[in-house]
Structure 1
Amino acid sequence: MEQTEFYAALLAGGLAGTTVDVSLFPLDTLKTRLQSAKGFRRAGGFKGVYSGLASAALGSAPTAALFFCTYEFIKASLPHGADPTGSGQVMVHVAAASLGEVAACLVRVPVEVVKQRTQATHASSSLNTLRKTLASEGAFGLYRGYFSTVCREVPFSFLQFPMWEYFKRKWSDTQGHPVLPWQSSVCGAVSGGLAAGITTPLDVAKTRIMLAKQESNIATGSIMFALQSVYQARGFRGLFAGIIPRTVWISLGGAIFLGVYDKSKLVIHQVVYKDSMDAPR
């Protein structure tokens, strides 16, 4: 992976992550409250939908940048197989996306813990939530739900990114030239929406684990126990709580996130190329 590609992924990923998380934050808040064990109204309802925005805004850029740097590095490092458009290419995208998520969760999980606890207790602020978590649970409290988050993000990316790359390749083949950023956005919306709907139960489990009281059984981080608890309390519908705002949020987010990412990379490459051409020889 060339240095230019690394910096392009770093800057474009950071910009894309911040753009989508800040612009669609209210939908994320509604989804979290629908999944809360307290219920939608007691968790805040439609009030204070920007609670926790500060933590999301601060964490968006490094999380997305870390993901895309890892994603692009793995893509560039792994062989694409005999057929660059076949199963070998798909597995490269799967591996790159999965490892990207494992790395990104090192930043994403503390941000999610603070953000979701603030969303579910809308009278608090991100800073107060951070202080309370550190005082009661220590630094490890910020990583509660790391495993469940990875188990949500890896299947999601396992589905989204190969579909995104596949849709772009097919569209490119049909029109005879690489897809434009707005076309990449459409591919991102479709792939993100499909992946979001399928993985909603894992998102519900992750939310319950992060919001659970410290001494509760769910707080231990067992995904299966969390899913069983939700199913026993609310049935099959409970496993898909928040699916509508989650699917809409991630469809729009996928369009913005991946569209802005491709557009930013294009602009960065153009600037770097122009500067190299203009440099004195």
Structure 2
Amino acid sequence: MNSREVLASLLAGGCAGFTVDVGLFPLDTVKTRVQSQQGFYKAGGFRGIYSGVIPAAVGSFPGSAAFFVTYDFTKSLLSPRGGEASSQWAGVTHMLAAASAETMGCLWRNPTEVIKQRAQASPSSSTWHILLTTVREEGVRGLYRGYGSLISREVPFSLIQFPLWEYFKTLWSRKQGHKLHSWQSAVCGAFAGVMAGFCTTPLDMAKTRIMLAKAGTSTARGRISLVIYDVWRSQGLTGVFAGCVPRVTIIGIGGFLFLGAYEKSRPFFL
């Protein structure tokens, strides 16, 4: 990738991520409150549905930009022939690129994700107050609470979504005999995202509880398997898949807008 391609990926990815994260924020708030330990109504119900939107907006552009720059760079690095992987190794290439991209993107997103989710689950507290309280009680490390769980959610999600997205695009493109339009790429992204979102909902639920947990508790230590087991033991499968409907809805619509907007806008920056 040359410098112009890097800039195009950065700007297109950032714009796409910002549009989706801010546009679908109310659904994300509903998901967080459904997954929280106190339950949907005690966490705020439908009150203050935009609580936490500021940190979400702040972290969205750099997080998405870092993701797509890393994704495109890794894909081009592993696919020397013009950035296109051979059919034999395409799946592996896309999985490695997606895993690398999520690791980098989460470094930017984690602090804003922590503050955003705490604001969503405590609509009576201001974002600034939550930020100061987190840093005062837990230090800067508190902003990275749940980083392991965020990675553990995002990497499997991307390992499913992006190879499927690339596969669906290739399949559709071959069938019609020419490169897909941006809306067709967006449809492929939506289907891939819904499948990946459903499969990784338990990991998302565990990540939410770890980030919202009171400092010093066993949940706050970030053992994903223990969190999922405790929820399953007390609430069954319904608890483990809490927030599945809003999450899949967000990802379905978001995947359409996010990947479609990226594909549509990237050529304008080249």
When normalised by structure 1's length, the TM-score is 0.93
Counterpart mapping for 1:134-213 below 5 A: 134-213=135-214
Identity score, percent = 51
- Deviation track 1:157-200 (CA, whole Å, cap 9, x = no partner) reads 00000011111111111111111111111111110011000100
Look up the match of 1:232.
233
Shift of 1:79: 3.7
The DSSP-based 3-state class of the residue aligned with 1:258 is helix
Look up the match of 1:30.
30
Look up the match of 1:275.
none
Shift of 1:129: 1.2
Look up the match of 2:39.
39
Which residue identity is paired with 2:222?
G
- 1:73 pairs with 2:69: no
Look up the match of 2:54.
54
Contact 1:33 1:39 in 2 (8 A): yes
Rounded Cα–Cα distance in structure 2 between residues aligned with 1:247 and 1:203:
11
Look up the match of 1:93.
94
Rounded Cα–Cα distance in structure 2 between residues aligned with 1:111 and 1:194:
26
The DSSP-based 3-state class of the residue aligned with 1:135 is helix
Q: Which runs of 5+ in 2 are unaligned?
A: none
Look up the match of 1:12.
12
Shift of 1:75: 0.4
Residue 178 and residue 120 in structure 1: after superposition, are their counterparts in 2 closer, same or farther (change >3 A)? same
Q: Which runs of 5+ in 1 are unaligned?
A: 270-281
Rounded Cα–Cα distance in structure 2 between residues aligned with 1:24 and 1:103:
23
Rounded Cα–Cα distance in structure 1 between residues aligned with 2:255 and 2:125:
29
Compute the RMSD of aligned alpha carbons. Answer: 1.3
Shift of 1:236: 1.2
Rounded Cα–Cα distance in structure 1 between residues aligned with 2:70 and 2:170:
21
The DSSP-based 3-state class of the residue aligned with 1:101 is helix
Shift of 1:111: 1.0
Look up the match of 1:217.
218
Contact 1:80 1:92 in 2 (8 A): no
Look up the match of 1:243.
244
Which is greater in Rg?
1
Counterpart mapping for 1:235-274 below 5 A: 235-269=236-270
Of stretches 120-129 and 242-251 in structure 1, the one that deviates more from structure 2 is 120-129
Rounded Cα–Cα distance in structure 2 between residues aligned with 1:170 and 1:228:
39
When normalised by structure 2's length, the TM-score is 0.97
Shift of 1:86: 2.5
Contact 1:80 1:88 in 2 (8 A): no
Rounded Cα–Cα distance in structure 1 between residues aligned with 2:218 and 2:162:
34
Counterpart mapping for 1:116-135 below 5 A: 116-135=117-136
Runs of 4+ displaced beyond 3 Å: none
Look up the match of 1:111.
112
Number of paired residues? 268
Which residue identity is paired with 1:38?
Q
